[in-house]
Structure 1
Amino acid sequence: MATVALRIAWRYLFSKKSHSAVNVISVISLAGVALASMAIVCIMSVFNGFTDLAFSQASVLSPDIRIEPAKGKIIGSVDSILVELRGISGVEFVEPVVEERALAICGDKQMPVKITGVTDNYGMISDIVRVVKEDGVFALNDSVLGDMTTLSVGAALTLDARPTSLSRVAVYVPRRVGRINTANPAMSFRADTLVVSGVYQTDQAETDADGMIIPISVARRLLEYADEATALDVKLADGVSVDEVSSRIGLLLGGGYIVKDRIAQQEESFRMISVEKWVTFCMLAFILVIASFNVVSTLCMLVIEKDANIRTMLAVGASRYMVARIFMIEGWLISLIGGVIGVAVGAVLCLAQQFWGFIRLGGNHDMMTTDIYPVRLDGSDMLVVLALVAVVGFITSSLTALIARRRMSVTVGE
């Protein structure tokens, strides 16, 4: 029975109707579902592209893995922990990091900054060298000039500091131990002066706003640390699974530490993109539902047109359930065919943009990380869209089957 109903529905779908309006409305219904499906695939692929772009930008200064204390902000006995971590397979570098807020002063300019104390291997763990402006270099110390700092572009502009031996930045941090001398407030701060070696720009607002990279020895001296650190940055060997190494580190250190990959380090940014993606998906899904209601109107007109056929099928012994199932299957076919066409066209457009980049972003391309509209087609998104089309098509087709059965009740009554 199901095969017979499918064959009849397929014939009704492609056969010429006695009223041309039914053909036109059928095409419009199918096109509406196709356009809505195509739009969902393209929009979700765009969000995937922006997610990849955000990940690539986050990876500039973010290590492969960062280890932070579960409570408090200090990791003690860092040297012994480093020895254990460097023995884990897949770990290439492990270096301590000290981060804190401070006050930076350069000439008559001052601003609060986020100091990041790092070791000489910081250039191996991050891509800081790649994002330093051409008129400077990433350096932590010099045999003649002494300790050096690399400023973010926001801090450099605010402090009016440039990478020259004459551009020195003083850093002030409140004392962690001892009493405050109200008669001499300056004694309540520890200070140091560094030469600006370079300026970096990652095109991330948070990173570029107030960053200041300094030697970890200076950071520890300012904060009165011995071998403490606020985090441990891990660089993995090529081809090593981040999840596997993270699990090994977690088992080694226990529950007193939090092990974060790059996505977890930028959790808020990626969560925002994910929320925007699925909110947009819900809005476009609502448009797809509205477009699918055109299928109901199309099938209602088809039920009226096939009134004589319905009488004939009932007369030769077909059940009302079978006849109603014919129109239900036809409605589902319209939705599925429209959905498949829309997903296929959307996939072709996204792949064309992904590989050839024919759509470009507006604005000054010299100031952008990329001038091509970022897109990445994901097969799971296509499956989600097809599943949505199938569910919506089933619901609208069920409504049509109900209308067809009522129509048959009237026909039999006549």
Structure 2
Amino acid sequence: MAKSHAKSYVVGVGMTRFEKPGARDWSYGDMAVEAGSQALADAGISYADVEQVPVGHCLQPSTAGQRAVYGLGLTGVPVYNVNNNCATGATALMMARQLVAGGISDCVLALGFEQMRKGALGGGASGGDLAASPVARHYGVMAAGHGFAASPPAAQIFGNAAREHMDRHGTTEAQLAAVAAKNHRHSALNPRAQFQDVYSIAEILADKTIHAPLTRLQCSPTSDGAAAAVVVSERFAAERGLRARAVEIAAQTMTTDTGASFDSGSCVDVVGRPMSRAAALAVYESSGLGIEDVDVLELHDCFSINELLTYEALGMCPDGASGKLVESGATTYGGRWVVNPSGGLISKGHPLGATGLAQTAELVWQLRGEAGPRQVPGAGVGLAHNIGLGGAAVVTLFRKT
């Protein structure tokens, strides 16, 4: 049974441009201050108003959160360093919401950043001890069904999920590429996106293969960048005159792996569809809203196949029908939903600790009507989905007030 909590609102968001690693001369502290300062200015408050700060990062030193927020002010408030793989940003947001909804704090800043190296992310499969990897069980399932290739481990496990989906449901390579084509097209309207080039399905299919059927343009890049959100109580919003700009966090849930992730021996399940489905059902029940009420979504398209799997997990279509859904145009402008208007991870970029908060920023702009040329007309409800192998899935419903 869902527990009742006080309402919580996002009243300020900020985000740097996401950059190719090394493209800009900045430290993770610089990018965190840039995003955090934007969020505070957007809310019209100062860092002195902030009572607690969960900070998400995966690849920086253990207390990088303190190093980063000290650039915003030395107020002595609690700072939490959060790491939940690729779901880190949404986990920091969830901590902020829980602190506010539980009545512990009235104003919390959630911050996420990452400074990454060029090249594909490792996964404990190459040049290291796979048995010691946090995702050893996940890769073990993959290896039992597909073997272990020389391609990057993350691309390999999602690529094998794509192969299974194609074998079971007749999903085509062109349908997978249609996800990437849509998201690259959307990112052309986002000045904060790492990539702003438009590609045809044919160009995406012709690009370098990373792990068949996935080509490079269907894979999210490594990125540098930061994003932030100010989460406040209803009382704080009212006292500071922020209700007009406030976006309600209508519901939010995190799930982790259960036996369903591993028992089937399927990469489709290992990469998180059961977690995502459970989280979605929980937020629908908690909020009284359903996927039919949602207008705009930011989904974790780390690889094109994961956007298709997430359509199914969220109830946007039956299992196996996601390829036809994207092919129909239902998930872009003029369709039933607009998915990843920011460009998604594939084109906007994927600095691990910042991704979930960048999704939040995009949805807040959309629900306020501040998204400029990529604005979804009449957007009133937004859904964010942020997932990390190992594993965690966070689904958040935002509602225009």
TM normalised by structure 1 equals: 0.22
TM normalised by structure 2 equals: 0.22
Q: Which structure: greater helix fraction?
A: 1
